[in-house]
């Protein structure tokens, strides 16, 4: 189900908070839903919601549910407790890629880094790859860290956009366990009045 993206008073050039680094699934969703706005990254869901509360950002786009794992926590609880107005509610397909620095091969990979929710969505597939799982704060943040390290033994599980943003090569596409892996995002703003 998708509800339309509701206008805010100044519908152009708003600041939309999201959790993660540039290239994260939430960043992709911001660009897809409101390409005219400035997407502003925050390390945590609480910080993204807090930016709306303080007025630093006009809205926040937060994932609250995934078709594979259920509620996206702690985001779902934080959204419920925030008491914000929901401007839009949209399901988006989530496709995970395994990426590493140029020249790396699957045989080189010793660690796979990503956000715990992304790792949960790929649990079965990852169990067939002989690599240590490393939890990171964000999918795109993991991709950034892998790129900066320049180590062929490290890979990130992240969206395709993260490979483009951080100059990584994709080793494998579609690592999600479910072919119909989708995440529900809500666009939130402070209630008027």
Q: In what order do the strands lie in the sheet with 154-158?
A: 132-135, 111-114, 154-158, 97-100, 169-172
Distance (Å, whole) CA 89 – CA 84: 13
Catalytic residue among 42, 45, 84, 183: 183
- For tokens 């960043």, the residue is 27
Q: Which two tokens stand for residue 11?
A: 């519908």
Residue 86 known to be catalytic: no
Instruction: DSSP for 112-173, please give it.
Output: EEE-HHHHHHTHHHHTTS-SEEEE-S-HHHHHHHHHHHT-TTEEEEE-HHHHHHHTPEEEES
Residue 185 known to be catalytic: yes
∠143-145-150 over CA atoms, to 5°?
100
Residues designated catalytic: 183, 185
């Amino acid at each position: 189900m998708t509800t339309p993206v509701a206008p805010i008073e100044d519908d152009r050039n708003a600041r939309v908070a999201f959790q993660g680094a540039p290239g994260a699934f939430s960043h992709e969703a911001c660009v897809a839903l409101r390409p005219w706005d400035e997407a502003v990254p925050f390390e945590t869901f609480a910080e993204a919601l807090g930016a709306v509360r303080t007025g630093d950002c006009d809205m926040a786009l937060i994932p609250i549910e995934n078709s594979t794992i259920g509620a996206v926590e702690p985001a779902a609880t934080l959204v419920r407790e925030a008491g914000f107005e929901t401007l839009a509610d949209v399901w988006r397909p989530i496709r995970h890629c395994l990426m590493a620095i140029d020249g790396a091969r699957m045989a080189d990979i010793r660690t796979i880094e990503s956000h715990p929710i992304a790792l949960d969505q790929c649990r079965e597939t990852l169990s067939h790859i002989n690599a240590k799982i490393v939890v990171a704060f964000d999918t795109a943040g993991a991709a950034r860290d892998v790129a900066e390290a320049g180590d062929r033994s490290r890979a990130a599980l992240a969206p395709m956009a993260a490979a483009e943003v951080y100059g990584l090569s994709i080793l494998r596409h579609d690592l999600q366990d479910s072919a119909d892996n989708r995440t529900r995002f809500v666009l939130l703003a402070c209630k008027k009045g």
